[in-house]
Amino acid sequence: MNLLLLLGIPIGIGLLYLGSEWLVKGGKGLALRLGVPPFVIGLTILAFGSSAPECITSIVSTETPEIITGNVIGSNIANIGLAIGLAAIISPMAAKFSTMRFELGMMLAVSLAMFALAFIGYAGFIVGAIFVAALFVFVYVVYRLKKNDEEGQASYTSEVVEEKEDSLGYPILALMVVIGLIMLYFGARFFVNGAVELSHIFGMSEMFIGLVVVAVGTSLPEICISVLAARRGENEMAVANIVGSNIFNVLFVLGIGALLVDVPIPDSALIFHLPIMLLLTAAMMLAVYRKDRVSRPVGALFLAVYVAYVAIMMAIPSLTI
């Protein structure tokens, strides 16, 4: 047992969280000083920044690509089951379907695309290139749809506020971006090495580690943002954050990973994990469509599904191979 490697898990989570924070704050500050509209900052810098932990983790996991698969699927399940579930229990989450129709539809579409990939058994370079290209098309379409719609922009701009970082000079803000990227890289290295060591110690598959440990660890920014937003009553921002994150996880995180290495999608993902991801995705879309909100009972249901999902994996290890 290498205890030093296991320490990489908490150290890595801390560095990933701080790295994401510094990257977003530095990038946001630079963009504001350059006169970039808050809506564009929210749509690009904040969106890419919140998915940076998952993306960097994919980049450093090319020797264990099963972790990439587990990270993407597990993060998307945790985002709805844990983040939305906990946040909705704290405070029912308003989310207007009319302003989020395209994003919700895209979240379902990319989930179905990954499910379809499972029949092939892997995501390769061509799929990665298509996914990354599709992400930029998605960002452009959202910009075109919302550029003259103040109500539609609200969920993207609520986090883009003037803070002390925004009054700093260009060199300090640029340094924050660089340090953020460095922390993300080393945080991902420590975290993945610790997670792999954990799988060896307890005889767990790397897929399981990706689905649970890595997924929850890299989803901490989204979970924290959603819970804090719910406590402040900024519920629509929390829902938009999760929807955007789930889209970015498939198109950006899996896309970048597939550009670097063939990412396997095992049969267990097809018969168990992806159906759970699709179930939660469709349930969230249906809740917003019918009631323009995610209620406390629905949030409790999401959390219960997540707890049952993890319990089933632990009871039937063959589902994680």
Other C-beta atoms lying within 10 Å of the C-beta of residue 113: 17
pLDDT (average), residues 297-301: 95
> Tens digit of pLDDT for each residue in 3-24?
677 788 889 989 988 988 888 8
Q: List phi, psi (to 5°) of 264.
A: -70, 145
**Residue from 254, 267, 245, 246 nearest 127 by CA:** 254
> Tens digit of pLDDT for each residue in 212-238?
988 888 887 778 777 777 777 666 677
Is it the case that residue 166 has pLDDT exceeding 60?
A: no
Average pLDDT over all residues of the chain: 87
Other C-beta atoms lying within 10 Å of the C-beta of residue 186: 18
- Distance CA(245)–CA(242), nearest Å, equals 5
**Residue from 50, 114, 48, 60 nearest 254 by CA:** 114
Q: Domain extents for the chain?
A: 3-320
Is the whole model's pTM more than 0.75, yes or no? yes
271 to each of 3, 82, 278, how far by Cα in Å? Answer: 35, 22, 12
> Tens digit of pLDDT for each residue in 67-118?
999 999 999 999 999 999 998 998 888 888 888 899 999 999 999 999 999 9
Amino acid at 69: T
Q: How many CA atoms lie within 13 A of 249 on its CB side?
A: 31
pLDDT at residue 131, as a whole number: 97
- Region label for 23, one of left (φ > 0), alpha (ψ between -120 and 50) or beta (otherwise): alpha
Top CATH class of 3-320 equals mainly alpha
Say whether 49 sits in a helix, a strand or coil: helix
Is it the case that residue 154 has pLDDT exceeding 80?
A: no
**Residue from 199, 209, 290 nearest 2 by CA:** 199
- Distance CA(81)–CA(158), nearest Å, equals 23
**Residue from 44, 146, 50, 161 nearest 98 by CA:** 146
Say whether 142 sits in a helix, a strand or coil: helix
Q: Which residue has the tokens 């469509």?
A: 289
